[in-house]
């Protein structure tokens, strides 16, 4: 277990909504157990929320991925209700695209970091590489059983690329 757990985009649209997949639904139990173990240990959990405006299809991302998802305040934008939330230990950050750029303000006091969630080859790897760039000396860990990719092949490819960037894969 690391000092903080980042749970990437475990939102309904990515699990069983407009961009959902069988692989994504299959990791929910693993992610739930992992979050609970962090909370039981009194550690912080930070959820990221992919967050788009209603005119998503007019955005750069929307032109390249024309599937409406995670429009702010819609049911698909909500974090899965199967995942635990603790008022003291949990927080959520909204991000308008794959990577969140303000980790430095949130994690500068943390010695090591674990990341899990969706999708391995888009938002998990984007945030892992941003964190690796910000924090070249911190341990960053990704549990493959708590991530799913757009396809199983892309999941495996992303794990390999993260390992190349000295992100520990378990
Ligand atoms: Zn998106």
With beta carbons less than 8 A apart as the criterion, state whether 131 and 23 touch: no
Query: 């391995």: which residue's tokens?
Result: 120
Query: 């209700």: which residue's tokens?
Result: 81
φ/ψ of 138, rounded to 5, equals: -95, 145
Ligand 1 centroid to 92 CA: how many Å? 16
Q: pLDDT tens digits, the chain, 170 residues: what are they?
A: 999 999 999 999 999 999 999 999 999 999 999 999 999 999 999 999 999 999 999 999 999 999 999 999 999 999 999 999 999 999 999 999 999 999 999 998 999 999 999 999 999 999 999 999 999 999 999 999 999 999 999 999 999 999 999 999 99
pLDDT of residue 164: 98
Ligand 1 centroid to 12 CA: how many Å? 12
Which residue, among 71, 81, 34, has the nearest Cα to 49 in the 3D structure?
71
Ligand 1 centroid to 60 CA: how many Å? 10
Ligand 1 centroid to 116 CA: how many Å? 17
Q: Residue ranges of the domains in the chain?
A: 4-169
Q: What confidence tens digit (pLDDT) does each residue in 105-119 have?
A: 999 899 999 999 999
Ligand 1 centroid to 88 CA: how many Å? 28
3-state SS string for the chain: CCCEEEEECCEHHHHCCCCCCHHHHHHHHHHHHHHHHHHHCCCEEEEEEECECCCHHHCHHHHHCCCCCCECCCHHHCECCCCCCCCCCEEEEEECCCCCCCHHHHHCCCCEEEEEEECHHHHHHHHHHHHHHHCCCCEEEEEEEEEECCCHHHHHHHHHHHHHCCCEEC
Q: Which residues pair with 116 in a beta bridge?
A: 7
With beta carbons less than 8 A apart as the criterion, state whether 15 and 119 touch: no
pLDDT of residue 93: 98
- 4-169 architecture in CATH? 3-Layer(aba) Sandwich (3.40)
Ligand 1 centroid to 61 CA: how many Å? 7
Ligand 1 centroid to 145 CA: how many Å? 22
Query: How far is the C-alpha of 147 from the C-alpha of 149, rounded, in Å?
Result: 7
């Amino acid at each position: 277990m690391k000092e903080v757990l980042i749970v990437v985009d475990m939102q309904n649209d990515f699990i069983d909504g407009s961009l959902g997949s069988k692989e994504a639904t299959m990791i929910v139990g693993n992610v739930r157990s992992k979050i609970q173990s962090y909370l039981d240990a009194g550690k912080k959990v930070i959820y990221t929320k992919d967050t788009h405006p209603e005119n998503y299809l007019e955005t750069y991302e929307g032109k390249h991925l024309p599937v409406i998802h995670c429009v702010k305040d819609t049911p698909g934008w909500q974090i899965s209700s199967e995942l635990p939330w603790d008022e003291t230990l949990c927080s959520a950050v909204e991000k308008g695209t794959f990577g969140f750029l303000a980790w430095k303000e949130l994690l500068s006091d943390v010695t090591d970091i674990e990341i899990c969630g969706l999708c391995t080859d888009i938002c998990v790897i984007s945030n892992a590489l941003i964190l690796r760039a910000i924090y070249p000396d911190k341990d960053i860990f990704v549990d493959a059983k708590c991530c799913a990719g757009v396809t199983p092949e892309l999941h495996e490819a992303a794990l390999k690329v993260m390992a190349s960037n000295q992100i520990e894969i378990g």
